[in-house]
């Protein structure tokens, strides 16, 4: 059976892949941790090299080993019981060029699981063995077998002593043109020869050709060092020399191979790698470093950056599940809700409780000396008209007076429309009943956020237990409306950061200017100084709005007089003949003529019992 003869294109492709493998190997050599594909592709800085191409090339070479989707020199996972000098020799063969002692020591430390310093002390002694190694000065140490040693004046003896094939020597002697060699310009002379030869030449045969011309001026170590240190020659790990200009051809060839690899279906090994990826301690530290550096980061960002898994890969979902337990318990960071993590924040005590001015207390039943009873709360089934649904309007609900499971939240999106009420403007808070639960996320209990607005950058807190946003006073101080100012909270590209935007808009239902606020405060003053039921407060407010009021508008104004549950207000509207809605408008009005008709007896069965 005869071997298949490689075409010129096959040879070019093999050489290009060897060039890439060499670049990758030298990048990984001595590194403390195995590298991810993107790190590999980025660090070698070869145009057009994709992570998948890098993986393909490394997978074809026995110089590399992959562990949990990371790559390292394969010798780290080899047999460490072999003779030390054999391991050192194999390490240099894999590198293909002289390597500095410190780098050799680091890699040997990884191979044997010991500190690199121990090998840095012993290597200089071992590397003085000139039969096996040679020193190339600042370039480091290489293998003596790479050198052409002129052991005789007779070429035949030199060829024999250096384990060269006479047939190979004759082949290259025929195709390589004669050039004038200069012992001080070895790289330039070799470049001239290689360009004319138009194919790579084994470095020992190249040295033999130079020795023929230089004779006594030929120095094997200097010859090799000049080839490696200059920028005229490209020496690959198979010890073949190319003119440096061939590097562009390699890059072009690799670009074509990258396109071919991208078009191929995933190999079995790649598919296996698509499962969830174990998050190592090193991964965890990288992720935490990202969080601490940026202030916050999403799981998607960290998995993509650290583990090189994008959300559209099948491995992503399983890896995302592993992320939270991996980061849980680290005292430097905290979960901010959703998939976002941030630096640990110490929460002020004031963001852990509802301000007393916002608490809606129970409304006591009011009984007159004549025995008339007012302000009784009904079961929801007893509510009139659309009040059964209006009570779940976010503009009607408020902190401590809401039913989060039934609230008719606005749609979730990149922004949320917010209508500011009187008490919240004073306290610098905002109720979460007006915010879709998914906007900030229902967990954790307290989420620190950053709000920005034209130079302002303030810390705020979303408390999912108290159902309030705290820390908004600085943003509200420029609002002149007593109630009803409309502002927008928008997401930014940065996790945990939101933009506050107020353009002077006032809500039609909840808008209250200064003049109207004085009228309401007058009602409040009389309510606080006199013994009067909430029923009278509602009648007075409705009398001042002859055209009628929406339920949300009425609840808002009543609450400026006294913090009152929307359920009590709905109960009063539903219990008396004098309250009704105007036609199809749905606006509530007070009819003085029907005041004497009193309580609607059909509602008695709905009155809540103590």
Q: What is the CATH number of the domain that holds 441?
A: 2.40.330.10
Same-domain check for residues 424 and 563: no
Comparing CA positions, the residue from 524, 558, 521 lying closest to residue 542 is 558
pLDDT score of 135? 95
- Percent of the chain scored above 70 by pLDDT? 98
Alpha carbon distance 75, 64 (integer Å): 8
Q: Quick one: pLDDT band at residue 517, thresholds 50, 70, 90?
A: very high
Q: Quick one: pLDDT band at residue 472, thresholds 50, 70, 90?
A: very high
DSSP state of 59: H
pLDDT tens track for 158-214? 999 999 999 999 999 999 988 999 999 999 999 999 999 989 999 999 999 999 999
pLDDT score of 581? 94
Is 93 a domain residue?
A: no
pLDDT tens track for 279-337? 888 889 999 999 999 888 999 999 988 887 888 777 788 889 999 899 998 999 999 88
Same-domain check for residues 214 and 304: no
Is 226 a domain residue?
A: yes
Same-domain check for residues 493 and 518: no
Is 228 a domain residue?
A: yes
DSSP state of 305: I
pLDDT score of 316? 85
- 473, 506, 539 — which closes off a domain? 506
Is 118 a domain residue?
A: no
How many domains would you assign to the chain?
4
Alpha carbon distance 55, 262 (integer Å): 11
Quick one: three-class SS letters along 491-539?
ECCCCCEEEEEEEEEECCCCCECHHHHHHHHHHHHHHHHCCCCHHHHHH
On the question of pLDDT at 277 being above 60, the answer is yes
The gap between the terminal CA atoms of the chain, to the nearest Å, is: 100
- Strands, E assignment, 129-231: 133-135, 141-143, 201-202
On the question of pLDDT at 50 being above 60, the answer is yes
Average pLDDT value for residue range 224-244: 95
DSSP state of 406: T
Lowest average pLDDT, out of 231-245, 294-308, 461-475, 590-604, goes to: 294-308
Same-domain check for residues 381 and 410: no
Comparing CA positions, the residue from 461, 437, 439 lying closest to residue 448 is 461
pTM, two decimal places: 0.63
pLDDT score of 413? 95
Same-domain check for residues 383 and 408: no
Please answer whether residues 225 and 203 qualify as being in contact, where contact means their C-beta atoms are separated by less than 8 angstroms. no
On the question of pLDDT at 523 being above 60, the answer is yes
For the chain, state the CA radius of gyration: 40
Same-domain check for residues 554 and 582: yes
Same-domain check for residues 376 and 411: no
pLDDT score of 272? 45
pLDDT tens track for 448-467? 999 999 878 999 999 999 99
- 195, 224, 245 — which closes off a domain? 245
Same-domain check for residues 338 and 374: no
pLDDT score of 270? 52
pLDDT score of 274? 53
Neighbours of 427 (CB within 10 A): 20
pLDDT score of 494? 85
On the question of pLDDT at 271 being above 50, the answer is no
* Residue numbers of the domain that contains 299: 274-343
Alpha carbon distance 229, 184 (integer Å): 13
Is 20 a domain residue?
A: no
Is 523 a domain residue?
A: yes
Is 501 a domain residue?
A: yes
Instruction: Give the Cα-Cα-Cα angle 313, 317, 318 (nearest 5 degrees).
Output: 110
Mean pLDDT (the chain) is 92
On the question of pLDDT at 268 being above 60, the answer is no
Could you give the dihedral angle defined by the CA atoms of residues 102, 103, 107 and 108, in that order, rounded to the nearest 10 degrees? -40
Instruction: Report which of residues 309 and 87 the model is more confident about.
Output: 87
Same-domain check for residues 236 and 278: no
Residues 6+ apart with CB under 8 A from 329: none
Instruction: Give the Cα-Cα-Cα angle 168, 173, 174 (nearest 5 degrees).
Output: 100
Residue 470 CA, chain-centre distance (Å), reads 27
Same-domain check for residues 414 and 552: no
Is 4 a domain residue?
A: no
Comparing CA positions, the residue from 380, 492, 498, 363 lying closest to residue 430 is 498
Same-domain check for residues 339 and 413: no
Peptide bond into 502 cis (omega under 30): no
- 226, 245, 264 — which closes off a domain? 245
Alpha carbon distance 366, 373 (integer Å): 6
pLDDT score of 308? 78
- Percent of the chain scored above 90 by pLDDT? 80
Average pLDDT value for residue range 51-71: 91
4-8, 130-134, 441-445, range with greatest mean pLDDT: 130-134
Cα torsion angle, 226, 227, 228, 229, sign: positive
Comparing CA positions, the residue from 332, 327, 331, 329 lying closest to residue 299 is 327
Same-domain check for residues 529 and 501: no
Alpha carbon distance 373, 593 (integer Å): 20
Neighbours of 131 (CB within 10 A): 7
């Amino acid at each position: 059976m005869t071997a298949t003869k490689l075409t010129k294109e096959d040879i070019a492709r093999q050489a290009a892949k060897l060039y890439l493998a060499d670049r990758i190997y030298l990048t990984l050599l001595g590194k403390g941790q195995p590298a991810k594909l993107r790190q590999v592709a980025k660090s070698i800085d070869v145009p057009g090299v994709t992570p998948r191409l890098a993986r393909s090339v490394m997978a074809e070479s026995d110089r590399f080993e992959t562990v949990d989707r990371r790559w390292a020199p394969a010798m780290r996972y080899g047999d460490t019981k072999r003779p030390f000098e054999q391991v050192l020799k194999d390490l240099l063969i894999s590198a293909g060029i002289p390597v500095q002692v410190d780098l050799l020591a680091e890699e040997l430390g990884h191979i044997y699981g010991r500190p690199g310093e121990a090998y840095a002390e012993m290597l200089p002694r071992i590397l003085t063995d000139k039969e096996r190694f040679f020193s190339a000065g600042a370039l480091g140490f290489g293998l003596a077998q790479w050198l052409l040693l002129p052991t005789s004046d007779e070429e035949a003896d030199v060829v024999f002593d250096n384990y060269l094939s006479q047939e190979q020597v004759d082949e290259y002697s025929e195709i390589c043109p004669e050039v004038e060699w200069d012992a001080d310009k070895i790289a330039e002379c070799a470049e001239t020869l290689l360009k004319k030869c138009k194919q790579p030449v084994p470095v020992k045969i190249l040295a033999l050709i130079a020795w023929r011309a230089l004779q006594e001026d030929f120095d094997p170590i200097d010859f090799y060092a000049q080839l490696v240190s200059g920028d005229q020659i490209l020496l690959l790990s198979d010890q073949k020399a190319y003119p440096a200009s061939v590097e562009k051809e390699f890059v072009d060839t690799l670009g074509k191979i990258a396109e071919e690899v991208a078009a191929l279906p995933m190999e079995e090994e790649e598919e296996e790698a698509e499962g969830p990826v174990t998050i190592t301690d090193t991964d965890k530290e990288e992720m935490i470093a990202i969080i601490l550096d940026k202030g916050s980061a999403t799981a998607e960002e960290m998995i993509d950056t650290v583990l090189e898994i994008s959300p559209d890969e099948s491995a992503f979902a399983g890896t995302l599940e592993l992320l939270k337990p991996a980061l849980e318990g680290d005292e430097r960071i905290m979960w901010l809700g959703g998939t976002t993590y941030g630096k640990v924040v110490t929460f002020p005590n004031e963001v852990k409780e509802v301000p007393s001015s916002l608490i809606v207390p129970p409304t006591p039943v009011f009984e007159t000396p004549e025995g008339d009873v007012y302000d009784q709360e009904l079961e929801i089934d007893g509510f009139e008209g659309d009040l059964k649904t209006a009570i779940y309007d976010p503009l009607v609900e408020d902190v401590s007076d809401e039913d989060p499971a039934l609230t008719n939240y606005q749609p979730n999106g990149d922004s949320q429309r917010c209508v500011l009420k009187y008490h919240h403007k004073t306290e610098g808070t905002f109720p979460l009943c007006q915010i879709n639960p998914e906007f900030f996320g229902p967990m954790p209990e307290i989420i620190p956020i950053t709000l920005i607005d034209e130079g302002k950058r303030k810390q705020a807190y979303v408390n999912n237990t108290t159902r309030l946003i705290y820390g908004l006073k600085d943003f509200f101080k420029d609002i002149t409306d007593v109630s009803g100012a409309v502002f927008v909270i928008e997401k930014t590209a940065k996790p945990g950061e939101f933009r506050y935007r107020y353009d002077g808009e006032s809500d039609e239902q909840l808008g209250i200017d200064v003049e109207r606020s004085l009228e309401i405060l007058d009602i409040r003053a009389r309510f606080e100084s006199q013994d009067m039921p909430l029923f009278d407060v509602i009648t007075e407010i409705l009398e001042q709005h002859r055209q009628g009021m929406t339920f949300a508008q009425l609840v808002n104004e009543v609450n400026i007089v006294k913090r009152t549950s929307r359920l009590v207000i709905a109960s009063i509207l539903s219990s008396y003949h004098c309250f009704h809605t105007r036609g199809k408008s749905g606006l509530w009005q007070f009819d003085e003529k029907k005041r004497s008709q009193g309580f609607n007896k059909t509602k008695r069965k709905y009155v809540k019992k103590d």
